[in-house]
Amino acid sequence: MLKIALIGCGAIGSSVLELLHGDADVAVQSVVVPYTTDAINATVQRWAPTAKIASAVGQGAYAPDLVVECAGHSAIGEHVVPALQRGVPAVVASVGALSEDGMFAALEAAARQGKTQVQLLSGAIGAIDALAAARIGGLDEVVYTGRKPPGAWKGTPGEKECDLDSLKTAHRIFAGSAEQAAQLYPKNANVAATLALAGLGLQGTKVELYADPGVTENVHHVLARGAFGSFELTMRGKPLAANPKTSALTVYSAVRAIRNRAHAVSI
């Protein structure tokens, strides 16, 4: 039985709880949030009634076997780094946070200190296994192109690039490195950062972002070339039916990572 501490109980965390419900190999020991709400109380009561709602990850006799972060950038420094230092392994959904200066090094140092490991979730993007394997033979180019409906770029610097409300054709709102993309579009940084960390790094990975009235879903395209050959991947991510605020694949990727640690066969 794998005892987990789930950090965050928003769009992703609550859906993870629902999907883990009934898995005899996983026990949600605690749900860690800065403060609770009626919605969080109801979700935990419904899907993980034996879990404690807490403001910190348990220690000593109460330490979990695995910390699962689905909370946001601040939770990494606040909960994931100290848990790793104490030897508790972790899986992280907020991979975009690792674009921040020193964050990747801090996680790595914490895991080393605790003689444990931190796993970065593939989240909303696929082919991370192929990309990370291809890197071993040498990569020449990785280009990520992200397309979203114009309205999805409201509140970002994309608003200054074009009139999002009247776009009739796709408009490129950003072209640059994954590092620059993370600085300008931090809320959209997860996929580019994941591809960068698996492949050519934040400076070496090219990113293009489009506001596209022709799409209704988030469309991710990856082109990678290197000694292995090349691949292209197009993903049209759907929101989770039970919770349209999050991408279905991100939730499934977190549940997969947990199950892979709990079940006898890992794939």
Ligand X SMILES: NC(=O)c1ccc[n+]([C@@H]2O[C@H](COP(=O)([O-])OP(=O)(O)OC[C@H]3O[C@@H](n4cnc5c(N)ncnc54)[C@H](O)[C@@H]3O)[C@@H](O)[C@H]2O)c1
- Between CA 91 and CA 70 the distance in angstroms is 9
Instruction: Based on DSSP, count helices (H) and strands (E) in the chain, helices before strands.
Output: 11, 13
Q: Which is nearer to ligand X, 44 or 164 (CB)?
A: 44
User: 236 and 146 in contact (C-beta within 8 Å)?
Assistant: no
Give min distance, CB of 74 to ligand X, in A. Answer: 4
Catalytic residue among 21, 220, 221, 263: 220
User: 214 and 171 in contact (C-beta within 8 Å)?
Assistant: no
β-partners of residue 221 are 145, 234
Give min distance, CB of 51 to ligand X, in A. Answer: 14
Residue 158 corresponds to which tokens in the numbers above? 């994309």
Give min distance, CB of 255 to ligand X, in A. Answer: 13
Give min distance, CB of 128 to ligand X, in A. Answer: 10
- Between CA 173 and CA 159 the distance in angstroms is 9
Q: Which is nearer to ligand X, 72 or 204 (CB)?
A: 72
User: 70 and 10 in contact (C-beta within 8 Å)?
Assistant: yes
73 carries an active-site annotation? no
Q: Which is nearer to ligand X, 95 or 211 (CB)?
A: 95
Residue with nearest beta carbon to ligand X:
10
- Using CB under 6 A as the criterion, which residues of the chain lie in contact with ligand X when the complex forms? 7-13, 32-34, 70-72, 74-75, 78-79, 93-96, 121, 123-124, 190-191, 194, 246-247, 250
Question: Quick one: how far is CA 220 from the chain centroid?
Answer: 14
Active site residues: 220
